[in-house]
Chains A and B, each alone.
Chain A
Amino acid sequence: MFEYCADPKSLEGLRWLSCYLTTGTHLRFYSSFGTVLLLLAITAPVALLFGFGGALASRSQILPVRWFGKIYTSMVRGVPDIIFFMFVPIALDQLFEYLRSRVYCDTSVPVRQGNDFVVCAAAKLPRSDSAPWVHDSYGFFLAVLAFAIVFGAFASNVLYGAMNSVPRAQLETAEAYGMTQRQVTRRVLIPQMWSYAVPGLSNLWMILIKATPLLFLLGVEDIVYWARELGSSKTSTFSYPHPDWRLYYFLGILVFYLLMTAVSERVLRRVRRRLSLGQATMAGEAMRKAAS
């Protein structure tokens, strides 16, 4: 990056460090923090959407839809989320390739042959002739989908509970005004449920932040991957030889996560305060008393 970095063997002290920390691989390491933030930014709204669907489905009047909702919501109880993170990407990948193979390939050839999963070249995802970034982003896409499905199930748990905590009288009043079921849901239930949902959702956000290093298990080149890669000891055949520094890299990641959770906690506390304002709950009552 800097001009004096041309011959790293001649450098010492801080100069060496400044060159070392700005190598191409280090820049990719820094940008992988962006990957984590991107994952958070995409997953959170999608998971909320899935959760919303799940919660509404488990309240549905139609029996099969309700079953679907109930199964989706209770899916994450009792089973570790890591199992879902291992299972969902492979399962989805095989599902997509299977569906494509029914369209593009000779359908008389079975997909499962012994211990192999075989589809013809046209059905492969991503296609073998596509650019490397397509492969990377397909992996990332599967990871996001896995996160969204798992955290959607968590969120639908929270939202289902929140919808049930909206006082019955509120909904009955709305019905007495002659609103239809859909109007009650849209105009009364959903606006009121947020203050009950926020404690659970903010907890969920914290869990989501702390689940992001699992990206490493899904084969995405995230911060854990780069920390292991860059930190491991480099012999003199590399331009920047150093002993095993993985400890320091992981310490850096630890600090990153501590900062993330500390900042989130601050922000969420303010959101909670804002939403409790004027609500008929304990927190709202306490704020009313404090003001008067």
Chain B
Amino acid sequence: MNCAQTITDYGLRSIGIGERLLPRTDFDLCTQFTLIGSGLIWNIYFGTLALFFGFFIANAVALAKASDNALLRKPAEWFIFLFRGSPLFIQFFLAYQLFVLLPRSGVEIFGITVATSWLTKAWAGALIVLVLNTAAYSAEIFYGALQSVPKGDLEAADAYGMTGWRKFRRVVWPTMMRLAWPAYTNEAIFLFHATTLVFFASFPAFAQQGDALYYANYFADKTFNPFVAYPIIAAYFILLTLLLISIFGVVNRRLNRHLPGAARRIRYRPQLIR
């Protein structure tokens, strides 16, 4: 079997397109590269969507935590403590058990039956956990940035007669983003790395459609040789990380476009913000 054939057979295997059965006997390099690469689709799916939804929630939670009103502040503090203080692995297990316990026939809310079985599937259940998790970590980053918005900026906004939403939208929020961006880049990278946990924490891989690590682990188990599959997935993730850094670097330059020399390269300090 040549490589082009392998790619058409297994290139989209992880989302259910192509060959149904996983290879059982010949595990050549091409097969491993293709299948692990196809698993990467799931990592990108989880990472991108969690980052997108998490961003908005994180902004709201950060503002709530900075609020003077205890009714807003306390829940935000607890939310952040709960998700930052416990391992993501346990959160996955817990969420899965919670979703499984929901009645199979659906929950009735205001007379409308809401189906719940989709929550036990990885594409939805794990995504919810990842969204909440990254929201908590990002909220802490944004909160820290919000606290370090320079006093002078706020006074300048006051002097221009800006108040309320206008002041927030035009002065506070952009500065907050500018300050938080390097740390937020690290968080994004870490989130993409954390997506590899999904199929190892309860959430079943339907019809063996798993993520990159799921397939890498499959190959390592079948061939008793960890020295091929794991370096391949490592290479994929290094490429993904470089891609993320460059995308976030573009945003960083745009955020700092008015500051000469400020749009430096983001120095990636791995995981140390967590």
Contacts and interface: CB of A to CB of B under 8 A. Distances in A.
B29 interface: no
Main secondary structure, interface of B, reads helix
B274 A206 contact: yes
B23 to A, nearest CB: 12
A86 B238 contact: no
Contact of A258 (B82, B200, B213): B82
A283 interface: no
A239 B200 CA distance: 31
Contact of A87 (B84, B222, B230, B273): B230
Interface stretch (B57-65, B154-162, B264-272): B264-272
A79 B271 CA distance: 11
B226 A76 contact: no
Nearest to B223: A115
Contacts of B255: none
A91 B94 contact: no
Given A77-B268, A77-B270, A154-B270, A90 B226 contact: yes
A258 B84 CA distance: 9
A80 B220 contact: no
Contacts, number: 124
Contacts of A115: 27, 222-225
B271 to A, nearest CB: 6
A70 B240 CA distance: 21
Nearest to A77: B270
A3 interface: no
B194 A80 contact: yes
Contacts of B118: none
Contacts of A217: 200
Contacts of B273: 203
A178 interface: no
Interface residues of A, number: 48
Interface stretch (B8-16, B85-93, B163-171): B85-93
Contact of B87 (A157, A213, A244): A213
A42 interface: no
B119 interface: no
Given A157-B270, A206-B274, A213-B90, A82 B213 contact: yes
A221 interface: no
Contacts of B87: 209-213, 257
Interface of A: 76-83, 86-87, 90-91, 94, 112, 115-117, 154, 157-158, 161, 200, 203-204, 206-207, 209-214, 216-217, 224, 227-228, 244, 246-247, 250-251, 253-254, 257-258, 261-262
